[in-house]
Structure 1
Amino acid sequence: METETKSVGLGRIDAFARRLGPAWLAGAIAAGPATMVSLLVAGASFGYALLWVVVLSAVLGTVAQYLAMRLGLLTEAGIVAVVDEHLGSGWAWVLVIDAVLAAGLAQLVIMKTVADVSATIVAGADVGIAVLADPRFWGVLWALALALGLAGGGYRLAEIGAKLLVSLVVLAFVGSAIIVPIEPGAAATGLDPEIPAGVGGAVVAAGVLGGAVHITLVTMQSYTMRARGWTERDLGIATFDVVSSMLVAFGLFSLAIFLVAASVLPEAGLDPESIDQVQAARALGPVAGDHATWLFLLGLWGAAVSTLGGNTIVPPYLLADKLDWEQSVEDPRYRTALVAVALASAGGAFLEGAFFQLLVLVLAFGLVGTPFALVVILVLLNDPDVVPETNSTAANLGGLVLVAVATVLAAEFVRGELDTIADPTSAFVVAFAAATALATVALAGRGVRDRFGRT
């Protein structure tokens, strides 16, 4: 009898574990190359000073995914379709454009990362074929593989292999965190919420938070809910899914990488403005020794490849939801959009600059557009015409804190871009920030007016 009870208990746990997944997909994308690099740059540049942002990113990332999850469960529809129906087509297009710009820029930089690291690995292997050491060759090759794989459903194997490599590197960082001499007293000073002075402090802080609180993550959550067929009845497992993936797994991932970087890299005397993948690999020296560079490069490559596939589907998915296409490769319009995004990503390999710095920048840029998406979710979750059960006071308070922190760090980043507004890139960031800020204020005003009007 006791054996049967244990068997039933284990069976229930196994069945429960098998149902997990949607938020883990978001967590896997969050734990991509941009987040990994942002954490390494934060530790190498400022020691433990940005520990508070690292902790906050896991907490607020959990809040963001929880709110997005509730919207998906309660409406049983994609976020763009819900916005289109209840707020209007104009607001739906603003959300689509916001997310597509953030995802599109990320796509280019992630592809540059894949191409550059592929070329570096081949060059290190000394195969003797010059073209194989050219990142542009790898950019075109990976874009073709991405288009054919996603359109034909054959990209899954590459993603599985890449995730295994990422897992290996994460375990290496966890091992290093146990071995390296982390000073608890010095680390505790990093819990003081202050952005360090110096070059790039605001950018790096925005990049770290942007790894967990990003518009692509919160917009895609409703679609992953639908893919699993989850409804309001699945709130318990969905909440556990979010907490276990973002707060626990992603939180440990972030803390391990940051603490190791903050303990090891500043002692190496690296220049934060020119740190590259080979220098960053020193963080794994305590556990990998002479193999640290190869292990880190393979892990970074795996993180980029696995994130590349997930990020590619974001623009076509949102566009399909807005234009009422079937979100499947069976629909030629969706398949065409998917192939177009995949092929266009080849342009990332031709970008100038070091991908290490670009990855941090792309997360900071994504954070600029995120408050609008968060306000969209809060407005919808407080409308009884949209959801059968509106947000609790605690959920609204958490959402408002989330919006406030994201807005402040994004504003600090944009303020830095004002100093170089003559540069086309900075000018675009400032213009994008101004447009999304106006949209966010207007939508928030509408939400408050409607709420008090009903009251």
Structure 2
Amino acid sequence: MSETRTDVTALDRSSVRSYLREMGPSWVAGAIAAGPATMGSLITAGGSYDYALFWVVVLSAIAGALAQYLAMRLGLLTERGIVGVIEDHLGDTWAWLLVLDVVLAAGSAQLLIMKTVAAVSATLTGIDARVWGVVWALVLAAGLATQGYRFLEAVAKVLVTGVVITFVASLFVVPFDMGAAVSGLVPSLPRGSALVAAGILGGAVHITLITMHSYTMGTRGWLREEYSLATFDVIASMLVAFGIYSVSIFLVVASVLASGDLSTVEAANALGPLVGESAKWLFLLGLAGAAVSTLGGNTIVLPFLVADKLGWGTTVEDDRYRWLLVATALLSAPGAFIGGPVLSQLALVLAIGTVGTPFAIAAVLYLLNSEVVPESNSTFSNLGGLTLLLVSGGLAANFVWEQVAGGLDLLSGAILVFAAALGIATAGLFAKFVREEAVLA
């Protein structure tokens, strides 16, 4: 296999300006990462443990950027969607397993993201959240059906940029302890904080973000020649924008909110009497932008993979894909009618997605170290990928253990079966890779 390396360092000032204009696909992933579930984990972390988990917040941005970089390499070097690559080189069963994994993770998340969007809209306007659920579903369906991916990418870049600016502005009206924040960069896990840390990391390294990236780049028409641009796109979106988003929210909450039981909307409302109405409204506007951008980004994940598996096109030029987009958007409306505390529900959905993430990372690593790609993966990329696999696998195992330890019921039993199937599949990929390497040796 060729040892040629793609040059990602040859950047001059004109290149940077050009990249800033052309970047986009990773911003859709960033829009999903910077959503209500991640925000809920950040609020719980800052409200319950002060600055102690600041190091996890910083680590999540680095881990998220690395995961997207690996997904980007697979998409650009194969110039195909991940499901088609897996189907051709691993087989139909493996491809269906990945699709099912994403359907469960993205489908359940879609309903609760809509619940959050509707709740924020209701808080801002006074109009019933259920009405907003229907309205947002129709807007989403119309926008995606007529404009497709480019509509979503444009909205994601504007909203994520606006959200980052909004939360950074919050730091100027909310006092925070710089010394305590710096001390929080020293790794430690206070008693009872492991699941919260898992939620923060799980929001940045998630199966939906990893699997969708090859499709968004393909829709933009990016090929191997855009490798440097795609790398810049990942760094700007996941490392910089998502990193600033996470750090800003965490510092605001850790500075003034003393309860980890707040929902995302309740956290915004609590800021008013504590540090002024300006902080409350900045936080609410940031939450609204994050929720809307996440809803749009998450909507396209499932249609991308399902359409690819069925042999359909993955742009709105294919009417079958267009109607799949519309159906996904409209089916999110019932999320606004779900009762119960949204924060714990979002945490559960995020954890379920975390169970499916190790298999996706393992599949990407397997393919990047096979004959599928024309360039071998670097040692650094492999070590980073293996670290991600171990961390995400540990978080998933911890979540499943807690579910089982609490007693088996229908939900915990289903999670256990789901985790066992994907665990066996991940181990199977590893064994397959070892056998193939032994044959080559």
What TM-score, normalized by structure 2, do the two folds share? 0.89
Q: Which residue number corresponds to residue 121 of structure 1? A: 124
Q: Which residue pairs with 2:164 in the alignment?
A: 170
Q: CA deviation at 1:380?
A: 0.2
Instruction: State how far apart, in whole Å, the 1-side matches of 2:315 and 2:156 are.
Output: 24
- 8 Å contact kept, 1:42–1:258: yes
User: Does residue 297 in structure 1 map to residue 284 in structure 2?
Assistant: yes
After superposition, residues 26-65 of structure 1 pair within 5 angstroms as 26-65=29-68
- Cα pair 1:207 1:361 within 8 Å, conserved: no
Identify the residue that residue 430 of structure 1 maps to in structure 2: 416
The equivalent residue for 2:7 is none
Residue 260 of structure 1 contacts residue 283 of structure 1 at CA under 8 Å; is this kept in 2? no
**Aligned-partner Cα distance in 2 for 1:12–1:158:** 25
Q: Deviations over 1:336-357 (max 9, x none)?
A: 2222211211221222212233
Aligned equivalent of 1:225, options 207, 217, 224: 217
Letter of the structure 1 residue corresponding to residue 308 of structure 2: D
Change (3 A) 1:74 1:356: same
Task: Judge conservation of contact 1:80–1:92 (CA < 8 Å) in 2.
Answer: yes
Residues 203 and 351 (structure 1), Cα distance of their counterparts in 2 relative to 1, 3 Å cut: farther
Alpha-carbon distance, 1:166 to partner: 5.5
- Whether contact under 8 Å (1:202, 1:416) holds in the other structure is no
Q: Matches of 1:193 and 1:426 in 2, distance apart?
A: 31
1:444 aligned onto 2:436: no
Amino acid at match of 2:402: G
C-alpha distance in structure 1 between counterparts of 2:154 and 2:220, whole Å: 20
Matched, 1:87 2:90: yes
| 1:375 aligned to which of 348, 362, 366 | 362
Cα distance in 2 for residues equivalent to 1:32 and 1:422: 30
The answer on 1:414 being equivalent to 2:400 is yes
The alignment yields a C-alpha RMSD, in angstroms, of 2.6
* Residue-by-residue CA offset, 1:266-291 (whole Å, 9 max, x unaligned): 2xxx2x2354513344458787x223
The counterpart of 2:295, out of the listed 283, 303, 308, is: 308
**1:312 Cα shift?**
0.9
Range moving further from structure 2, 205-214 or 79-88: 205-214
Report the structure number with the largest CA radius of gyration: 1
Q: CA offset at residue 98 of structure 1?
A: 0.6
Query: 1:72·1:225 contact (CA, 8 Å) conserved in 2?
Result: yes
- Structure 1: 5+ residue stretches without partners: 1-8, 124-131
Out of 136, 143, 159, the position equivalent to 2:137 is: 143
Instruction: Count the aligned residue pairs.
Output: 430
Do the aligned partners of 1:203 and 1:361 also contact (CA within 8 Å) in 2? no
Please give the alpha-carbon distance, in whole angstroms, between the structure 2 residues aligned to 1:276 and 1:238.
Answer: 32
Residue ranges of structure 2 left out of the alignment (5+ in a row): 1-11
Question: CA separation in 2, counterparts of 1:10 and 1:405?
Answer: 37
| Separation in structure 2 between the aligned mates of residue 113 and residue 96 of structure 1, nearest angstrom | 25
Contact 1:169 1:295 in 2 (8 A): no
Going from structure 1 to structure 2, the CA distance change for 1:285 and 1:429 (only over 3 Å counts) comes to farther
Given that 1:372 and 1:440 are in contact with CA atoms closer than 8 Å, whether structure 2 keeps it comes out as yes
Within the alignment, does 1:237 sit opposite 2:229 as a pair?
yes
Identity between Structure 1 and Structure 2 (%): 58
| TM-score, with length taken from structure 1 | 0.87
- Structure 2 partner of 1:22: 25
Q: Is the 8 A contact 1:282 1:292 kept in 2?
A: no
Contact 1:281 1:292 in 2 (8 A): no
- Once the two structures are TM-superposed, the CA of residue 12 in structure 1 deviates from its matched residue by 4.8
